[in-house]
């Protein structure tokens, strides 16, 4: 099973530029949904700590809530689903 990064590298290496532009244009409708990426990252840094753990040769990601009970989760569940 390949990683997301490996899949992206393969996509950009093997896909013609015109197809990439077409695919990108299809995603424009999502530009106005939810927070911008930089806002999401800044929020996540403020409320969550992400640690990479290696316990007995098993790589794990641990996400810790820095501030208890934030007023909103600002898409944390989406962020969480990307990591796992």
* The pLDDT value given to residue 40: 81
Domain that holds residue 56: 4-83
Model confidence pTM above 0.85: no
User: What total number of domains does the chain contain?
Assistant: 1
Q: How confident is the model at residue 12 (pLDDT cuts 50, 70, 90)?
A: very high
Q: Does residue 48 contact residue 64 with C-beta atoms inside 8 Å?
A: yes
* The pLDDT value given to residue 72: 56
**How large is the greatest C-alpha to C-alpha distance in the chain, in angstroms?**
47
Following DSSP, what letter does each residue of 27-75 receive, concatenated? Answer: TGGGTTSS--HHHHHHHHHHHEEEEEEEETTEEEEEEEESSSS-S--TT
Residue range 24-81, pLDDT digits in tens: 999 888 888 888 888 887 887 777 777 776 666 667 766 677 666 555 555 555 454 4
């Amino acid at each position: 099973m390949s990683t997301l990064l490996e899949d992206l590298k393969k996509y950009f290496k093997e896909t013609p530029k015109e197809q990439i532009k077409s695919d990108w244009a299809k995603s424009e409708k999502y530009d106005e949904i939810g927070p911008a990426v930089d806002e999401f990252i800044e929020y996540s840094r403020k409320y969550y700590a992400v640690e990479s753990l290696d316990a007995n040769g098993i790589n794990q990601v641990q996400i810790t809530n820095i501030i208890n009970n934030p007023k909103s989760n600002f898409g944390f569940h989406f962020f969480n689903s990307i990591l796992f």
